[in-house]
Structure 1
Amino acid sequence: MSWLAKRGRRLSYSVGMTVTEAIHEHVLKVPASAWTPAVEADGEARDGAWVAELTGKLLHGWPKGMRLIVRKERPHPGAQLRITDADGMRITCFATNTTGRPIAELELRQRLRARAEDRIRAARATGLRNLPLHDTAQNRVWMEIVQIALDLLAWMPMLALTGRARLWEPRRLRFRLFSAAGQLVTTGRRRILRLARHWPWTGEITAALERLALLPDPG
């Protein structure tokens, strides 16, 4: 963050922060009037969630212009609270140097970044945790191949899947859809894909192929 805020750099950042003991104590002192309802992407208030900005001595020693914004939210049913949570609320915080926008809007921007973080996690699980080859040029080709696979993993669920299947992790997609046994038969100048009827997710595969076939030709 000090690098991002270095003089001469015109960069805007939004970075998740660990809730330290000092932050936790400061959150407990925030008056009820300082909390603002969090919002959803459609502009509606997020149920059971509020945001506030922490100021004062807590920011001493941090880069100039840094803002610290916290969110408190009722945990989901069954979720366990952490030691850094307060008053039965789940506490999270992030730092930003963006000004001129409501803190609820800034918190929404930070929350929506979770999708990007999830893609990074999927990338590590898919093949970018370690570079498997010795030569730099070979690893560069490997990274290009993995990135193509990640693009397919990102777009395929959005275009072809519905419901809970859209949320499947790469490992689950690989096991349920990509590893399904099938036979490609050519007859009468037509190609027919035959899938095993007993496979529990054959319906998902055929429905996905039908949705993809209905998409307009990009050309």
Structure 2
Amino acid sequence: MASTADAVGVADAIDVELAEWQNPNLLHTTGNTMTALALVLALGGDDANDVDLLGPLVAIGLVDQVPSDSTVHRRHKELADHDDEADGAGTTAVLTGMKAARTTAWTACGARNPAAASADAPLVIDLNATEILAHSDKENAAPTWKKHFGFHPLAAIIDHGDGWTGEPAAVLLRPGNAGSNTAADHKDVLDQALAATPDHVDGQEWGKRLLIRTDAAGGSQAFLGHLDHQGLGYSVGLPVTWQIGEIASTLGDDIKQGIIRPDGTVSDTTDAYVADITSRMHSWAGEPLGINLEKYPSDMRVIIRVEHPARGAQLRITDIDGRRVQAFVTNRPGHANRLDALHRARGRCEQRIRDLKDCGLGKLPHEAFGMNQAWIHAAVLAMNLISWAGLITAATGKAADQRRSRWWVWEPKTLRARMLSIAAVVVRHARRTILRFDRAAAHREVLEHGLSRLRSIA
């Protein structure tokens, strides 16, 4: 992780963006301190005091000096104050610095650079909210919609597809009582994510080569209009009304398409199906649909998915014929069942958020709201260091083809147990520092290959 941070130059990139207001004589700058904390969180630490875990990195020269826990708190306070004084300028600077580091990491992927996405294979950003519990009365902590107490942040996660890694672009900390479908918050976290996303390799606007996915919480008229105005692709959940259920119950067989299952098989339409009901909704002559399609983007398509619910799940009033009805809207072309498969892949976002909580998001140590937002930036960077190291390693075909060596899909705790805990001895000889890894370690070769890839771009 330290080699990744050094190779992509993330500490310097953040400091460059903060140069106008940061003291140039600081020993531990904001970029340096944030990177050190991110390394600690990637190793499994959950407190600023855990920066002492970086002692071995000082011994081998990857880190000159470890900041103290009070220095970490001081930098977080400075970032929070800068956000308050300059309307989020501190957060913008950190995200822009991460964009520079992410650009370096993605460029190192060569032909597999995610910034070379096309309209047929777009780069996907998932937006999803989560819950963080608080066990004390922190600033803006409040009862959540799950009847717990804490915070309700909204995350933007870049998804690189099945069998590959994902990386958080931004996390917007919100009070515990923040709404799930607040359009303003979705706009804010999307703007932050775009600020942290590298430019397309051709230098042109992303357009529909960037796909924004959310659940029904993002299906508001205001947010969909915002996505349409920016020219982005989207695949967004839509609340189902009884009128949509009525349309689903009257569809002919010619409009139904079998659901593409995870194993690649296609369901029988008599059992489960997807269908594009856009034209049916526009020609609906019954009671009002509950949504005014005239106020939504003109190229928006409405697609439903009808299937038997999972065992034990209760049917809702909008379900029909004993089957669950779900809907989403999109502005992408293509067959309904393929668009449904693309939308359903949004479930990977849940795992990315769990991984992010394992890298520090799950515990907010500060009393002040702004300082906890600064802590979240470090947690995002921790997960990004893991993701960037995986992307760079996965860029070689040999590594990606060998299932046993695809460590970038491991959860952080698995990565720590199998690779980051491999013992090594520091040997100095002929003015060189040599790491001799335990030859009996099961994943030693995987670790050495990753290190060699990182050093090749440094």
Query: Are 1:208 and 2:450 matched, yes or no?
Result: no
Counterpart position of 2:410: 168
Which has more helix, going by share of residues? 2
From 67, 70, 75, give the equivalent of 2:304: 70
Gaps of 5+ in 2: 1-219, 268-272
From 268, 273, 290, give the equivalent of 1:61: 290
**Cα shift at 1:144:** 2.3
**Cα shift at 1:211:** 4.0
Instruction: Give the number of the structure with larger relative contact order, counting CA–CA contacts within 8 Å between residues 6 or more apart.
Output: 2
- Check 1:203–1:28 CA distance in 2 against 1; reply closer, same or farther (3 A cut): farther
Distance in structure 1 (CA, Å) of the matches to 2:384 and 2:337:
31
Deviations 1:131-156 (A, max 9, x none): 32123553343222211111123233
Query: Are 1:143 and 2:369 matched, yes or no?
Result: no
**Cα shift at 1:212:** 3.7
Counterpart position of 1:32: 253
Kept in 2: contact 1:68–1:96 (CA 8 A): yes
Gaps of 5+ in 1: 41-45
Moved more, 2-11 or 109-118: 2-11
- Check 1:166–1:217 CA distance in 2 against 1; reply closer, same or farther (3 A cut): closer
Count of equivalent residues? 206
Kept in 1: contact 2:365–2:372 (CA 8 A): yes
Counterpart position of 1:183: 424
* SS, match of residue 266 in structure 2: strand
For normalisation by structure 1, the TM-score amounts to 0.65
Counterpart position of 2:266: 48
**Cα shift at 1:100:** 5.3
Kept in 1: contact 2:240–2:327 (CA 8 A): no
Distance in structure 1 (CA, Å) of the matches to 2:363 and 2:225:
32
Moved more, 9-18 or 184-193: 9-18
From 437, 447, 455, give the equivalent of 1:194: 437
* SS, match of residue 367 in structure 2: coil
* SS, match of residue 222 in structure 2: coil
Kept in 2: contact 1:48–1:74 (CA 8 A): no
For normalisation by structure 2, the TM-score amounts to 0.36
**Cα shift at 1:16:** 3.0
Distance in structure 2 (CA, Å) of the matches to 1:97 and 1:207:
40
Q: Partner amino acid for 2:438?
A: L
**Cα shift at 1:26:** 5.2
* SS, match of residue 32 in structure 1: coil
**Cα shift at 1:29:** 4.2
